[in-house]
Structure 1
Amino acid sequence: MRGADETSGSLFSYVDLEDRIPAHHPLRKIRQVVNDALASLDAEFERLYIDFGRPSIAPERLIKASLIQILYSVRSERQLMEQMQY
């Protein structure tokens, strides 16, 4: 079952993620382009997942995390999670 690409808000963080990235940072434009591309793939993602079972991590989130890992030359997913704190 396909998981939803929803943010958890302030469940684990006391600082809004939008406040951590400057207004004119290139990541903001990249995020807009990536979100548009992933929105166009929504029907394709939906077709790949069954309707029952435990929800997975949303494929959009996995693709976005991989893209950040590539853009910042992070060697592993574990290191990516550590770097997210900085």
Structure 2
Amino acid sequence: DHDWNEERIRDWLEGVVVKKSPKKVAVQFDRNVYLTDGWMVPDRVLWCQTNSADIRYPRQRSHRRPRQRLPRIQGEHSEEFENRGPFPENDL
């Protein structure tokens, strides 16, 4: 169980493996996580067996995410920045 929009729901939640031993894996979550008996997991770190059915590996992405474009400069000096080359010698 975990919190979602101020409600406790039972669903899959993405976490990050923070420690691994031959028998156990520690997964840390970014939301509060609860055990089945209602107790909150301390530090949002849940220990599971390495071969547990409750651990799913992430899906492989078929393509890369598109890069986020930077916003264009707007203002009275914007033409100045557009017209100069990548290495302006005069700005030193």
Which TM-score tier does this pair reach, normalised by the shorter chain? under 0.3
TM-score, normalising length: structure 2:
0.17
Higher-RCO chain (CA-CA 8 Å, sequence separation at least 6):
1
Counting strand residues as a fraction of each chain, which structure ranks higher?
A: 2
TM-score, normalising length: structure 1:
0.17
Counting helix residues as a fraction of each chain, which structure ranks higher?
A: 1
Larger-gyration structure (1/2)? 2
